[in-house]
């Protein structure tokens, strides 16, 4: 449960990208090659000029980081599966606008499964 986001090396090369840290815990890491912590670089603006949101990040993670075929264990109906908590800089994403939250430089996004084990 590492919560100290190390300054990511990636993405400092220009204004064109934002670098964030993404963590998977509570058992979700098994879907991502058993890696808990990922440094992720996203474009600061998407093709339509908008800024990347959590929604965008979800697609990006599934496409580029997910090693397991079972997408539905992470994403259901286009959003985070119920029972998986999302923390944006340690705050419940409900406080930050959920999937519409626009990602900022050095954000720390944590996905925690509540569904595993007792």
Partner 1 sequence: MPPSPCARCHDQRAVIIRPKNRQKLCRTCFLHVFETEVHETITSTSLFYPGERVAIGASGGKDSTVLAAVLKTLNERYNYGLDLCLLSIDEGIKGYRDDSLETVKRNAQQYNMPLVIVSYGDLYGWTMDQVVAQVGKKGNCTYCGVFRRQALDRGAAKLGIKHVVTGHNADDVAETVMMNLLRGDLPRLSRGTSIVTGSAASDIKRSKPLKYAYEKEIVLYAHHRQLDYFSTECIYSPEAFRGSARTLIKDLEKIRPSSILDIVKSGEDMALLVPAEVRGKGGEDEEGGGGGGGCGSQNGRTRGGEMAEMERKLKEDEAAKDREMEITSDSVPKKQQQSEQVQTPAQKKVKSQVLGTCERCGYISSQRVCKACTLLEGLNKNRPKTAIEMEVGLEDEESSSTLRRQMEKVELGGV
> Where along the sequence are the contacts to partner 1 (CB under 8 A)?
1, 3, 25-27, 30, 70, 73, 81-83, 85, 87, 90-92, 94-97, 101, 110, 112-118
CB of 117 to partner 1, least distance (A): 4
Question: Are residues 97 and 7 in contact, defined by beta-carbon separation less than 8 angstroms?
Answer: no
Of residues 18 and 113, the one with the C-beta less far from partner 1: 113
Residue 65 or 98 having the CB closest to partner 1: 98
Question: What is the edge-to-edge ordering of all strands in the sheet holding 37-43?
Answer: 37-43, 17-25, 108-113, 84-88, 91-92
Nearest residue to 25 (alpha-carbon basis) of 116, 106, 118: 116
Nearer to partner 1 (CB atom), residue 40 or residue 74? 74
């Amino acid at each position: 449960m590492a919560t100290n986001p190390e300054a990511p090396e990636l993405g400092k090369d220009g204004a064109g990208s934002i670098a964030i840290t993404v963590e998977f815990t509570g058992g979700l890491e098994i879907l991502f090659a058993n890696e808990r912590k990922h440094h992720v670089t996203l474009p600061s603006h998407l093709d339509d000029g908008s800024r990347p949101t959590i929604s965008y990040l979800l697609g990006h993670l599934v496409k580029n980081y997910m090693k397991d075929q079972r997408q539905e264990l992470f994403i259901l109906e286009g959003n985070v599966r119920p029972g998986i908590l999302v923390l944006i800089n340690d705050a419940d994403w409900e406080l930050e606008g959920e999937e519409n939250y626009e990602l900022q430089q050095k954000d720390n996004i944590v996905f925690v499964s509540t569904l595993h084990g007792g």
